[in-house]
Structure 1
Amino acid sequence: MLKRTAIAQLRKYTNGIVFKTASKPKRRWIPWTIFGGSFFGGWYLTQHMTFTDLLAYWRYDALPKNADEVVKYHADLNRRLNGLPIVKQLEEAGFVQVIANEEKNLLVSRALNTPGGIAIPPRVYYNPSRRETVGLYHLGMKLTGYPFLIHGGILATVIEDLMKEAFRLEKGTKNINQETKDLSISYKFPTLANQFVVVRTTDLQQYGNKTKLKAELMDQSGNRTLVKANATFASEE
Structure 2
Amino acid sequence: MTSNLFKRFLQLSPRFQFHAAPNARLFATAPSPTVRSPYRHLRTLALGGSLALTAYTLGAIYPHPYITFIAPRPAPGPPRDPDSPESIAYTTALEQSLQTLPLLTSLRNQPDAHEWYETRPYANYPDQVRVNNLTAGALRGPGKLALPPLVRARRDESEAVVILHVGRGLCGHDGIIHGGLLATILDESLARTTKAVQQMMGDPEAAKSTPVLLSEGMPPPPPKA
Fold match by TM threshold 0.5: yes
Distance, in Å, in 1 between the alignment partners of 2:91 and 2:97 is: 10
Distance, in Å, in 2 between the alignment partners of 1:107 and 1:36 is: 43
- Where does 1:168-179 land on structure 2 (aligned, <5 Å)? 168-170=195-197, 171=199, 175-177=207-209
Distance, in Å, in 2 between the alignment partners of 1:22 and 1:159 is: 65
1:81-119 Cα shifts (integer Å, max 9, x gaps): 112111012223423212425569921111100211111
1:84 to 101, 116, 131: 101
Q: Secondary structure at the match of 2:164?
A: strand
Aligned residues: 154
| Structure 2 partner of 1:98 | 119
**What displacement does 1:40 show?**
1.8
Alpha carbons of structure 1 residues 116 and 21: separation in structure 2 relative to 1, 3 Å: closer
Distance, in Å, in 2 between the alignment partners of 1:133 and 1:154 is: 20
TM-score by length of 2: 0.55
**What displacement does 1:55 show?**
4.4
Alpha carbons of structure 1 residues 141 and 135: separation in structure 2 relative to 1, 3 Å: same
Contact 2:91 2:146 in 1 (8 A): yes
Alpha carbons of structure 1 residues 54 and 42: separation in structure 2 relative to 1, 3 Å: farther
Contact 1:122 1:137 in 2 (8 A): yes
Unaligned residue ranges in structure 2 (runs of 5+): 1-35, 215-225
Q: Provide the aligned C-alpha RMSD in A.
A: 3.8
1:11-30 Cα shifts (integer Å, max 9, x gaps): xxxxxxxxx98847724422
Contact 2:170 2:178 in 1 (8 A): yes
| Structure 2 partner of 1:70 | 87
2:190 to 153, 163, 173: 163
Q: Which has the larger radius of gyration?
A: 2
Unaligned residue ranges in structure 1 (runs of 5+): 1-19, 181-198, 200-237
Alpha carbons of structure 1 residues 147 and 156: separation in structure 2 relative to 1, 3 Å: same
The one-letter amino acid paired with 2:63 is F
Q: Secondary structure at the match of 1:150?
A: coil
1:153 to 151, 161, 180: 180
Distance, in Å, in 2 between the alignment partners of 1:142 and 1:78 is: 18
Alpha carbons of structure 1 residues 33 and 82: separation in structure 2 relative to 1, 3 Å: same
TM-score by length of 1: 0.53
